[in-house]
A and B are shown apart, each in its own frame.
Chain A
Amino acid sequence: MNRIEIEQLTKFYGERQVLDAVDLSIAPHEVVCLIGASGSGKSTLLRCINGLTEFDEGTVRLDGVDIYDESFGRTGLYKRIGIVFQAYNLFPHMSVLENITLAPIRVHGRDRREAEAAGLKLLELFGLGQYARAYPEQLSGGQQQRVAIVRSLATEPDVLLLDEVTAALDPELIGEVLKIIRDLKTSGMTMVIVTHEMGFARDVADRVCFLDGGRIVEQGNPHQLFSKPENPRTQKFLERIIAAGRLEATV
């Protein structure tokens, strides 16, 4: 069974149609990258998957169950699908550990001491143990984004959504964040990744989807899609990317 099934997903912002009958299924442990020009609807699609944005038509199912099904309760969905944003969105008035334990304690009612122990262990695992008591502004962008990823993992989700998590980082800090994502793939995490890092998408994705005007106009395994795109719009997009030097041309 598919982990996530999206059917005929349609979304309007006022008069403007942002998603146009999107179909997408994601298998367990699969890593799907969404690429496409700015404004093509990548973030919106991502936020519909965990109910952060309401959509107008269509269904999204997690393990076969509609995400608006009552069995998820108010918080069940957020526990099972984590999301990380471009701007980290850490809470600046909380220490790293408090950021990470907020949801387990306040939302999922875990014992504070237990949650802190689990949070520390998770931080150690990602090489951030020494920053548990630090505040976000004391960390580099790369470290903050790694903390944000750990925060989304603290509720042990089955699916992770990543929205351009390296776009705000200085080039020399991108690597440490991408490494975490690779490690997560190795550990079997199901992920949907919006990215402008085409080289990374090619490495890490099982499947790449190209969005244009709110539709998935082409998808396939990364080597096929990046080297032999069939749709003219994909070809044009990739040509621009290559011209901008963000993907080495592959023949």
Chain B
Amino acid sequence: MTRRPGKGRRQIALKDRLAPVLISLASVVLVFGAVAWFVGTAEQWPRIQRQFFSIDAMIEAAPGVARGFLVSLQIWLISLVCIGIWALVLAIFRAMSGPWFAPLRVFAIVYVDLFRGLPALLLVLLFGFGIPALNLPGLPKEGLFWGGVALILSYSAYATEVYRSGIEAVHEGQGMAAKALGLTQWQTLRYAILPQALRNVVPAMLNLVVALQKDVALLSVLGVRDAVREAQIYTARTFNYSSLVVAAILFLLATIPLARLTDHLARRDRQRRLQGAK
């Protein structure tokens, strides 16, 4: 067959573009269909389904788990704000040079080493049970509060490092130009370095945001009635695990879009840098 320029050619091009999409679609359906068939026909499947995917149990557990999930979301959002601010303060401490700022710098370094080296769960237990047990006057006594503080302290260590890498990625000439214009160290950070650094760190920060969303569940060990805790309560009462699956679905509904957003931003960032480099 002879190919003529014009319409025919464009149709072929369209077909060429469509073919890979169709192939991947078909292979996905095939593979997952096979898995579903394999699982569905297994001898144990009805038992598994009753235990984990019972629709009745799910519907029954959903309100409680959803209420718990709202608690998780609240803790998550409040912690995020606190982490964003506290880690930025630490990163600024770290970035200040000169002998006068040495104590702040050392504090930030020790802080990051300490809190990055300890498991979040350990901190949650230590703060959430330990501090209320001290009965200190004037301080809150709820495990929820202190557990939240533990998460914030722990995650701030990671976030500080993310900010720091963003600050260090800003070209050193920027700092020199700012200094030559007479800006103080603080003004240099504030007007020249940080606006660029914050833009650099968005993708890495979003990774932490997703990770924190999951680690909020650690507070359930303190008896905080978050999604996981509510699901456990239901499980303990009925010996059915479908409630945990409901909690899992809620977590995924929240984290998957965030993960996609992270990917999208990272890709856009890379493209921008490639364009900048040409």
Contacts and interface: CB of A to CB of B under 8 A. Distances in A.
B187 interface: yes
Given A52-B176, A89-B176, A91-B174, A103 B196 contact: no
Contacts of A52: 176, 179-180
Interface in A33-92: 50, 52, 74-75, 78-79, 82-83, 85, 87, 89-92
B183 A107 contact: yes
A16 interface: no
A106 B177 contact: no
A85 B195 CA distance: 21
A79 B195 CA distance: 24
B124 to A, nearest CB: 38
Nearest to A77: B182
B180 A50 contact: yes
A93 B196 contact: yes
A106 B191 contact: yes
Given A50-B180, A78-B181, A89-B176, A107 B195 contact: no
B199 A93 contact: yes
A152 B178 CA distance: 11
Interface in A92-119: 92-93, 102-103, 106-108
A108 B199 CA distance: 28
Contact of B174 (A50, A78, A89): A89
A230 interface: no
A185 to B, nearest CB: 21
Interface in A188-239: none
Contacts of B276: 137
Nearest to B190: A106
Contacts of B196: 91-93
B181 to A, nearest CB: 4
B181 A151 contact: yes
Contact of A83 (B171, B174, B180): B180
22 contacts: A52-B176, A52-B180, A78-B179, A79-B182, A85-B176, A85-B177, A87-B173, A89-B171, A89-B176, A91-B192, A92-B196, A93-B195, A93-B196, A102-B181, A102-B183, A102-B191, A106-B187, A107-B183, A107-B187, A108-B182, A152-B180, A155-B182
Interface of A: 50, 52, 74-75, 78-79, 82-83, 85, 87, 89-93, 102-103, 106-108, 137, 151-152, 155
